[in-house]
Amino acid sequence: MTKKILIVAGDGIGPEVMGEAERVLGWYKQKRGFDVTVEHELVGGCCYDKHGVAVTDATIEKAKAADAVFLGAVGGPKWDNVPYEGRPEAGLLRLRKDLELFANLRPALCFAALADASSLKREIVEGLDIMIVRELTGGVYFGEPKEITDLGNGERRGVDTQVYTTHEIRRIAEVAFDLARKRGNRVMSVEKRNVMKTGVLWYEEVAKLHAEKFADVKLDNMLADNCAMQLVRNPKQFDVIVTDNLFGDVLSDIASMLTGSLGMLPSASLGAKDANGKANAMYEPVHGSAPDIAGTGAANPIASILSLAMALRYTFDRGACADLLEKAVDAVLANGLRTGDIMQPGMTKVGTVAMGDAILKE
Start-end of H helices in the chain: 14-32, 45-51, 57-65, 88-98, 122-125, 166-181, 197-213, 224-233, 245-256, 302-314, 319-334, 352-361
Closer by beta carbon to ligand NAI, 243 or else 304? 304
Q: Which stretch binds ligand NAI (CB under 6 A): 202-210, 245-253, 295-303, 320-328?
A: 295-303
The secondary element (H helix, E strand) that includes residue 3 is strand 3-10
Q: Is 253 a catalytic residue?
A: yes
Closest CA to 188 of 136, 102, 259, 255: 255
Q: CA-CA distance, 289 to 80, in Å (whole number)? A: 13
Is residue 100 a contact point for Mg ion (CB under 5 A)? Answer: no
Closest CA to 114 of 354, 353, 336, 307: 336
C-beta of 315: minimal distance to ligand NAI in Å?
A: 19
Stretch 68-107: interaction string toward ligand NAI, x if CB under 6 A: -----xxxx------------x--x---------------
Selected binder of Mg ion within 39, 126, 249, 357 (CB under 5 A): 249
Catalytic residue among 98, 141, 208, 349: 141
Is residue 299 a contact point for ligand NAI (CB under 6 A)? Answer: yes
224 binds, among Mg ion, ligand NAI, none (CB under 5 to 8 A by kind): none
249 binds, among Mg ion, ligand NAI, none (CB under 5 to 8 A by kind): Mg ion
State how beta strands 68-73 and 279-285 pair: parallel
258 binds, among ligand NAI, Mg ion, none (CB under 5 to 8 A by kind): none
Selected binder of ligand NAI within 115, 136, 290, 306 (CB under 6 A): 290
Q: CA-CA distance, 318 to 173, in Å (whole number)? A: 22
Q: Which stretch binds ligand NAI (CB under 6 A): 54-62, 136-144, 196-204, 284-292?
A: 284-292
Q: Is 283 a catalytic residue?
A: no
Sign of the torsion formed by the C-alpha atoms of 330, 105, 340 and 259:
negative
Q: Which stretch binds ligand NAI (CB under 6 A): 151-159, 164-172, 178-186, 288-296?
A: 288-296
**Residue 110 · residue 235 · CB < 8 Å:** no
Amino acid at 22: E
Point out the residues that are catalytic: 141, 192, 225, 249, 253
